[in-house]
A and B are shown apart, each in its own frame.
Chain A
Amino acid sequence: MTDRQVGSEGLNVDLAVAVERRLAGGGIQIDFSPPSGPLAGNQLAGLGLNLDVVPTAQRRLGGGGLMVDYIPSTIPLNAVRWSNVAFEAGTSSPLVYWISPAFQVSGTKPVVWLTDHFGVAS
């Protein structure tokens, strides 16, 4: 409450300025310089536009990605596969297994290609 009373006293100061303006009108002090700013003219203490607006709130995406939980393949990259025409590797053709004395299309440890010869995955 004390602070508000001080604010009212500020308005009293404005009235004192008006007295000075009257003196200027009398021509007594022709070199009178009126106080600058709002004290010099009609005074407007406050003004505002009361609007009801819908804000354009942005949704911001700063980063992200695809999180994948996978189980790695236990099939060696050099596993040998049979395309019904030829041996190959790195394709999705069926794996080749060696069950003595022949290649098979089922088993537990696939045949692998080791640079220049066949082997069996460990």
Chain B
Amino acid sequence: MTRLLTTGYETGDVAEAGALVQGTGVVVSVVNTAPTPRAGAYCLKTTVNATTWTITTKGFNFGLKTEVWVRFAFLAHQLSSVEYMFAQMADSAGGAQCCLTFNPTDGLIRLYRGTGTTTLLATASASVAQDTWMVIDWRTQTLTTTTGASEVWVNGNRLINFSGDNTNTANVNVQTLLLGFLSGATNAGANGSYWAYDDIAVNDTAGTLNNGRAGDGRVILLLPNGAGSSTQFARGGTDTGANYSQVSEVPPSMAQYNASAVVGNRDLYAHQDLAVAVQAINSVEVVALAMNSDAGGGNLAPTLKSGATVAEATAVGLTSTAVYVGARWETDPATTAAWTVAGVNALEAGVTVR
């Protein structure tokens, strides 16, 4: 039970996940074309749109850990020959521990300690191509301030296997994955370059599931397409005629919503079926854009119904600003076993007022 984070930006909303550090000269967006997403309908894109730019990143805080496996699909569209960072591990204080770079000249990914290209730890044993999605699995284990381990797998092949000092700070941990343009530069030739990311996941090594390399996973979003077994919210905003259609728009918005002030009220919806051939399902998460109607306190609990089993996650506190909340199930609560396609297709999902 150790999936820590999952996102593929399938809501079409750049606010779905990650803390944005917005510098100048770089646009962070969610796109469904240029490039074509690796899976689902959207991916994250960071684009240089000036000859000079400053650090612009999305940061994914997965909690303080000493060992994590990060997976993300990566597509490089680099118009200059300069080597730039595209991913970084930061510690609990936000300091850079190590980073990955891509060099368009030789097509090699490199692992550096700290930030920038000063302390090279390892170079990939094979090159990768630009403008093609690759799946990167990046393990970072911090043991002491001078010992640790890093592995980088690309499309299922381990290209970097490093043991040694992979911590640049005095904190023997990692806490945040940073993606984007991790350093500023002036490079007229790079104007128009972009990094694209998709299918982002973070595992730690505890438990029996999702406790290592996430591998060739894809992240998709199944939207509400019918009423579930509980409809206790009232429609607000633009009335689309049914509760499930109030919350099925992409990207989500509060222009049409379902609402309730009664603790215990629950709205559940049927969802689209998986339309792909599946080998395994790593995790299922309820994703919800939610808010309170005023500045007072209020909570919503993401809720699943699998068979006759209702699984209500820990309630999440809301504010008067709409934010994405969610909860994750790594096994089917009805069986406590791994998810099956039939189990996912039969799910009802929604929220409960708390």
Q: Count contacts on B: residues with CB < 8 A to the other chain.
A: 73
Proximity string of chain B (321-350) to chain A, C-beta cutoff 8 Å, 1 when within and 0 when not: 010001000000000000000001001011
SS class, residues of chain A in contact with chain B: strand
Asked if B287 contacts A65 (CB within 8 A), the reply is yes
Asked if B279 contacts A74 (CB within 8 A), the reply is yes
The A-contacting residues of B in range 238-269, CB under 8 angstroms, are 246-261, 267
A72–B221 Cα gap in the complex (Å)?
Answer: 15
- Say yes or no: is B276 at the interface (Cβ < 8 Å to chain A): yes
A67 to chain B, nearest CB (A): 4
Asked if A69 contacts B217 (CB within 8 A), the reply is yes
A72–B253 Cα gap in the complex (Å)?
Answer: 30
The B-contacting residues of A in range 57-94, CB under 8 angstroms, are 57-75, 77
Asked if B219 contacts A67 (CB within 8 A), the reply is yes
Asked if B223 contacts A65 (CB within 8 A), the reply is yes
Asked if B344 contacts A66 (CB within 8 A), the reply is yes
Asked if B296 contacts A57 (CB within 8 A), the reply is yes
Asked if B261 contacts A66 (CB within 8 A), the reply is no
Q: What chain B residues lie within 8 Å of A59 (beta carbons)? A: 259-261, 290-293, 298-300, 318, 351, 353
A73–B218 Cα gap in the complex (Å)?
Answer: 11
The A-contacting residues of B in range 141-196, CB under 8 angstroms, are none
B314 to chain A, nearest CB (A): 15
SS class, residues of chain B in contact with chain A: strand
The stretch of B3-11, B44-52, B80-88 in contact with A is B3-11
Q: What chain A residues lie within 8 Å of B221 (beta carbons)? A: 65-68
Asked if A57 contacts B293 (CB within 8 A), the reply is yes
Q: What chain B residues lie within 8 Å of A43 (beta carbons)? A: none
Q: What chain B residues lie within 8 Å of A48 (beta carbons)? A: none
Nearest residue (CB) in A for B222 is A66
Which residues of B are at the interface with A, using a C-beta cutoff of 8 A?
3, 6-8, 10-11, 199, 201, 214-224, 233, 236, 246-261, 267, 271, 274, 276-294, 296-300, 318, 322, 326, 344, 347, 349-351, 353
Kindly list 20 other residue pairs between chains A and B, CB separation below 8 angstroms, not including A64-B290, A65-B223: A59-B259, A59-B300, A60-B236, A60-B257, A63-B250, A63-B253, A65-B10, A65-B222, A65-B224, A65-B287, A66-B221, A67-B219, A68-B220, A69-B199, A69-B214, A70-B279, A71-B281, A72-B216, A73-B278, A77-B277
